[in-house]
A and B are shown apart, each in its own frame.
Chain A
Amino acid sequence: MRAALAFLLVLAGGSLAARAEEAPPPDPDGFDTTEAFLGADRPTGPWRLDDGLGVEQVPWDDFDPSLGYFPRGDVHLGLEGRLSGLFMDSLQTDMRPQLEVHGFVHIRYASRSPWHLRLGLVVGWEPHQTTYLGGGTLVTTSAVYVRARLLALAFDLGSNAALRVGPDLGIQIAPSPDGARVLFSGAGLAHLAFHTDDGRFEAGVHGGFQLTGVARVERPNTGFPFSDSSGVTYVPDPVLGVTAGYLF
């Protein structure tokens, strides 16, 4: 019975196909015939396949964990702490530690792109050094610095790591006996960070160099004021450290 039915249907399909080759077919698709056959049984209204909900009620969130990068979303604020060492000290003394706090904005260009940008502000501290050279002359290095950090070359390495490279530009303040010297501050750093599955918490290592300002201060005679007579020397100090941060 089934075989016979199949044969009839195939025959019907075949005959329709054959008729389609001849022009002009009166009803090549069978819709007119079907409509006439069904008569009053033809549905009159549209078949409504709609539960009434949509994007207005349920926001569109097509983040795909297999293709997208964490943390989800285009823009995040973040806070990071860094502990580093300045390995080749500008005044040829022992290695100095360095602490800094980095507040930043994390911007992803597209949810499925590994490329992103970090733009932030850094406030750091490092042990101040003063060395008296004799003859009323001393040199002093910075104790604190405030820099803008632009990690422009930044991209994710897979789903749990990211590499970021970019410059810092700002000021550093070198205490001196008569107050403080405000100097230019610059650095170039690379940051390799590993983050949790949701991308919120991250820890990593960073390294690079910073231009440590060494201000030369002179007081020719006792009782005279100090003067910034010889300007400033910038020494590129290698920096290597660890980081921990959180993105909101």
Chain B
Amino acid sequence: MRHLHHIAIVVAALASGACHHRPIGHFGDGAFYHSHGHYRIRYGDGPDLLSERWELTNYTTDAAGRPDREIRRDLALDSSRVAGRGRSRPFRVPAADLVYRQRDGSAEIWARTLVLPAAWDGDHASTASVLHGWARVLADGHDEAGPPNANLQGAILANFGEAVIDGLPAHWVELDVVRDDHLERVTLVGVRPGGHRWRWGRRRSVPMLLVFGFSSTPGAHDEVRRDFERFVARVDIRPRG
């Protein structure tokens, strides 16, 4: 288990790193598609991923209220550190794919693609261990590892278990977090998106972890969970062909 701590530290280091201005994704006719093609989230009953109670905060909207341009917040990474070889070159990854905030509350629901070091390929790091490592970083108060823009002051693990996303094995953790002097409950669900890898340059690629999460006050957590479940239930990991 000791290696988890090191994993967590590496995640934090990676998460503070930089380059590449590929769009996060786009809102197509029936779904949000990530630009790396590893997943999509189908719309619900209407042309939205969540109900009107939720506001998408990392995109501007057009006159019709549809997501228009992304409000970009990138993390700067170093290619040689991530890939474990090659020349040191900066590249950027989006801090989050989608971030929703409750209009009449403080709860958030988000989707994020986490770029993992090449050393975490294969069985060396299971979904559970990677997610645990990430949660560990959260517990240590590293801002970039947690919910986007979170000003974390500390966290403790409240619960954890296994999950299934689009038929793939996933893992979840629940943390009680202090952010801006307020107690919040954060749930993270992580899944390896099949054999998809984060690619950049001509031949460089590293594994990635798809993380969905929601945060709220502990009292509102079960209510937000229902919206979150509907959100993640419509996730499709693209089959590899």
What is the number of contacts between chain A and chain B, taking CB atoms within 8 Å?
145
List, in ascending order, chain A residues with CB within 8 A of B233's CB: 49-51
**CB of A95 closer than 8 Å to a CB of B:** no
Min Cβ gap B153→A in Å is: 5
**CB of B164 closer than 8 Å to a CB of A:** yes
**CB of B140 closer than 8 Å to a CB of A:** yes
Bound form: Cα–Cα A56–B1 in Å:
40
List, in ascending order, chain B residues with CB within 8 A of A13's CB: 139-141, 154-156
Q: Is the CB of A34 within 8 A of B162?
A: no
Min Cβ gap A12→B in Å is: 6
Nearest B residue (CB) for A11? B154
Min Cβ gap A247→B in Å is: 19
Q: Is the CB of A51 within 8 A of B234?
A: yes
Q: Is the CB of A50 within 8 A of B164?
A: yes
Nearest B residue (CB) for A12? B156
Bound form: Cα–Cα A11–B156 in Å:
10
Q: Is the CB of B5 within 8 A of A62?
A: no
Q: Is the CB of B153 within 8 A of A49?
A: no
Bound form: Cα–Cα A65–B164 in Å:
32
**CB of A133 closer than 8 Å to a CB of B:** no
List, in ascending order, chain A residues with CB within 8 A of B170's CB: 46-47, 49
Bound form: Cα–Cα A191–B158 in Å:
66
Report B142-184 CB contacts with A as 1/0, cut-off 8 Å: 0000000000011111111111111101101000111001110
Nearest B residue (CB) for A61? B28
Instruction: Kindly specify which of A20-28, A169-177, A198-206, A229-237 makes contact with the partner chain.
Output: A20-28
Q: Which residues of A contact B (CB under 8 A)?
A: 2-3, 5-6, 8-14, 16-17, 20, 23-25, 27-31, 34-35, 38, 42-43, 45-51, 53-55, 58, 60-67
**CB of B192 closer than 8 Å to a CB of A:** no
Nearest B residue (CB) for A16? B139
Nearest A residue (CB) for B6? A20
Partner of B166, one of A30, A34, A42, A54: A54
**CB of B2 closer than 8 Å to a CB of A:** yes
Known: A16-B140, A58-B30, A60-B40. Contact between A47 and B2, CB under 8 A?
no
Bound form: Cα–Cα A9–B178 in Å:
7
Q: Is the CB of A2 within 8 A of B182?
A: yes
Q: Is the CB of A53 within 8 A of B42?
A: yes
Nearest A residue (CB) for B229? A49
Bound form: Cα–Cα A19–B16 in Å:
24
Q: Is the CB of A34 within 8 A of B23?
A: no
Q: Is the CB of B156 within 8 A of A62?
A: no
Partner of A64, one of B1, B35, B172, B232: B35
Bound form: Cα–Cα A5–B176 in Å:
11
List, in ascending order, chain B residues with CB within 8 A of A29's CB: 1, 4-5, 132-133, 135-136, 157
Min Cβ gap B217→A in Å is: 12
List, in ascending order, chain A residues with CB within 8 A of B123's CB: none
Q: Which chain B residues numbered 4 to 49 have a C-beta less than 8 Å away from chain A? A: 4-5, 23, 26, 28-31, 33, 35, 37, 40, 42
Bound form: Cα–Cα A35–B172 in Å:
14
Q: Is the CB of B189 within 8 A of A2?
A: no
Min Cβ gap B224→A in Å is: 14
Partner of B165, one of A9, A16, A50, A61: A50
Q: Is the CB of A28 within 8 A of B2?
A: yes
Partner of B154, one of A6, A31, A48: A6
Q: Is the CB of B181 within 8 A of A46?
A: no
Min Cβ gap B45→A in Å is: 12
Q: Is the CB of B164 within 8 A of A47?
A: yes
